Structure 1
Amino acid sequence: MIVARRNKIFSVHGGAEEHILTLPVGFLANIFLWSRLISRVFRLGVYRATSFGDSYFFCINRKLYSFNKKTNHLKEEFGFAKGHGPLSFCDGKGLHQFDDTLYFGEYFSDDKLDRIRILKRSLLGEWVTCFTFEEGTINHIHSLIPDKVNNCIWILTGDFGTAAAIYRAADNFRQVELIIQGRQKYRACVAFPYEGGLIYATDTQFEKNSIRRLYKGPAGWLSEKLYEVNGPVVYGCELRDYYMFSTTVEPGDSKSSFLATLLDREKGPGIILNQVEIVALKKSNHALLEVLVDIKDLWPSRLCQFGSAIFVGNSIENNNVHAYFTATQIYEGRSKLIDLDSRQTTD
């Protein structure tokens, strides 16, 4: 497993750590990274990462770096004018009529519904635009979901009104079709393709959240609720026999002043209990398993990050996965190994 601690990257194998590289940050950021709480406030450290081909990719300090595992070459590839980087990356390898490369959608706070792009990495390591949502369409892109069953990439967008939507792209984004839009039950970050549609979970702090099935009926696309969950689902992963979902704890509407909004400790109205929950949906019979619960810590969510659990990649060969916790009382800043075969969790 590859892990980030502050701005340092390590390889962990059999309990032993090997330092791989140190990502560049400014002088003050290098000092602040030693404080977990300050790092949370300023969103320091590695924001998002992935592996593709011979390289690792890291988002840190509003920049995207690649590190070639064979040559040990670190390269700054992209600077984010807004936000800290994408919420997730999409691997297009093996998708019919798509390039075998990485894709991401722009993700940042956007109340004005600016033009939002989907970008892909060229063979030269340059990031080029492959599709643009015109101004007034969406706030940002939550996820791009590769679908080898249906030969497409699903586009999950947010956040409000018609911007909460699910699109489907084909032929290298030359064809982008609106599937469903306009309600919070279509607002999602996590989805898993199946024959004919998607299994997905909603991501809204204002209404009750659920795991749902998107499919095409005789009269068009339909979204069916399978299970209600505790809160918005921002992170998920696929295991051999399960789809994994984690719920977040985040605030609701803004308060009367900027300071009151920043220090707000109330949970959003769509969150049932003030806790992060991990659940697993079994593929064979769609039974839902409760896996792990951790209560949100006392720090305000807007200032010190939402309560969350992030999964470390997918693991379709087994039913084990690591989950990393932020802003919770028990596991804050720690990784837990979840073994669904034995229903155990370990550090």
Structure 2
Amino acid sequence: MEESLYICDIPNSKLRNLFLFFDILTRRFGLNNAKAAKIDNHTCLLWYHYRFYTIDLLNHKISLTVGSNNKSLLHLNTSSLGPIWGEYGYNPNKDSKSIYRYNLEINAIECIYTFKKGEINHIHNIVEDSINNRFYILTGDFGNAAGIYYTDDSFKTVKRLVSGSQKYRSCFAVPFNNGLIYATDSPTQPNSLYFFKDGVLKQIAEINGSCIYACQYGDHFIGSTTVENQPDEYNNAKNKYRYNLGHGIKNWNVELFDYNLRTGDYRVLLRARKDILPMLAFGYGLFVLPVLDETYKGNLYAYGQSIKKYDQKLIKVEV
């Protein structure tokens, strides 16, 4: 029998706590949208409702973090620099977007790099290549804003690796064999799992839809495809209550897939259908996967969102 351990309550308003009793309201207002990353073996950083908290897992305490920047984010990652993330959010005018980290020494959030106005829409993820002392920055969404950047000097300088194609639009990547394995995140174009090395892009497998959440679990790249709308770059609000399928999404199924980094085998672990509620208002159909470090040896879990049978359910993934 799987067990859960109570740590602490997250500060919340009475109204939001009330809404949490109703699945439909939880989805409509994103009340289950939380991100967390490891600080050390006893502490983690939590992002919830545009605020950052540190959680002491041993003493069951939660504290608001200094410098909580009231910004949106898509992924919060662990790294040698501490928990790290980039600014997300709807940004058709390509205003400047920044990268932040949590500094344990001063218990505060620091801005460590800023993309200039006109360069990108937003930042999807920051991925560390610990073997080559490099960080990759995955950006989106359209035109030249979709790309992969990198830094070899802890964000003193950032260089563009590739950009300008939906083939370079990604939310998660695994450094591998001096290259990069990643899944694309395009609602408008067909999606694939790719291997990029020395300027050469090789398709590993075509996937069912865009990939927003994935993780590395031992020798496995585990990802979830997404059921989402066909977007409008400058007026996406019109999609709020529409039930239209993106041109890059094959069908209404969400697939949890596994690519074995060691053997090169690709397979679908689980397939489930998106429910009938509109995507922008009530959440894209997908599985949320955890942030794992290289030392993790425990069970793998995924959290279902807007999927028949699995909506707001935590499931154990058998790899």
**Shared fold (TM-score greater than 0.5)?**
yes
Pair 1:204-2:204 in alignment:
no
* Secondary structure class of the residue paired with 2:124: strand
Q: Which residue of 2 aligns with 1:66?
A: 54
| Aligned 8 A contact 1:188 1:203 in 2 | yes
Q: Which moved more, 1:299-308 or 1:29-38?
A: 29-38
Q: Which residue of 2 aligns with 1:28?
A: 15
Q: Which residue of 1 aligns with 2:138?
A: 156
1:89 to 70, 76, 93: 76
In structure 2, distance between residues paired with 1:47 and 1:298? 24
Using the TM superposition, give the Cα deviation of residue 56 of structure 1 relative to its aligned residue in structure 2, in angstroms.
Answer: 2.1
Distance 1:176 1:297, change over 3 A: same
Distance 1:110 1:60, change over 3 A: same
1:182-331 correspondence to structure 2 within 5 Å: 182-216=164-198, 221-254=199-232, 261-314=239-292, 320-331=299-310
In structure 1, distance between residues paired with 2:172 and 2:150? 15
Distance 1:57 1:48, change over 3 A: same
Using the TM superposition, give the Cα deviation of residue 102 of structure 1 relative to its aligned residue in structure 2, in angstroms.
Answer: 1.8
Q: Which residue of 1 aligns with 2:102?
A: 121
Using the TM superposition, give the Cα deviation of residue 318 of structure 1 relative to its aligned residue in structure 2, in angstroms.
Answer: 5.1
| Aligned 8 A contact 2:51 2:70 in 1 | no
In structure 1, distance between residues paired with 2:26 and 2:193? 32
| Aligned 8 A contact 1:150 1:195 in 2 | no
| Aligned 8 A contact 2:35 2:47 in 1 | yes
Matched-pair identity in %: 27
Would you say how many aligned residue pairs link Structure 1 and Structure 2?
A: 315
Distance 1:239 1:17, change over 3 A: closer
Distance 1:260 1:141, change over 3 A: closer
Using the TM superposition, give the Cα deviation of residue 73 of structure 1 relative to its aligned residue in structure 2, in angstroms.
Answer: 3.4
1:336 to 299, 315, 318: 315
| Aligned 8 A contact 1:206 1:269 in 2 | yes
User: What letter corresponds to residue 129 of structure 1 in structure 2?
Assistant: C
Deviant stretches of 4+, over 6 Å = none
| Aligned 8 A contact 1:147 1:153 in 2 | yes
Using the TM superposition, give the Cα deviation of residue 253 of structure 1 relative to its aligned residue in structure 2, in angstroms.
Answer: 3.0
User: What letter corresponds to residue 205 of structure 2 in structure 1?
Assistant: Y
1:41 to 19, 25, 28: 28
1:144-193 CA-partner distances (Å, limit 9, x unpaired): 00101221000000000111010011111113111000000000001000
Distance 1:16 1:290, change over 3 A: closer
What are the ranges of 5 or more consecutive residues in structure 2 without an aligned counterpart? none
TM-score under structure 2 length normalisation: 0.93
Q: Which residue of 2 aligns with 1:141?
A: 123
Distance 1:45 1:336, change over 3 A: closer
What RMSD over aligned residues (CA atoms) do the two structures have, in Å?
A: 2.1
* Secondary structure class of the residue paired with 2:182: strand
User: What letter corresponds to residue 129 of structure 2 in structure 1?
Assistant: D
| Aligned 8 A contact 2:229 2:239 in 1 | no
What are the ranges of 5 or more consecutive residues in structure 1 without an aligned counterpart? 1-13, 94-98, 341-347
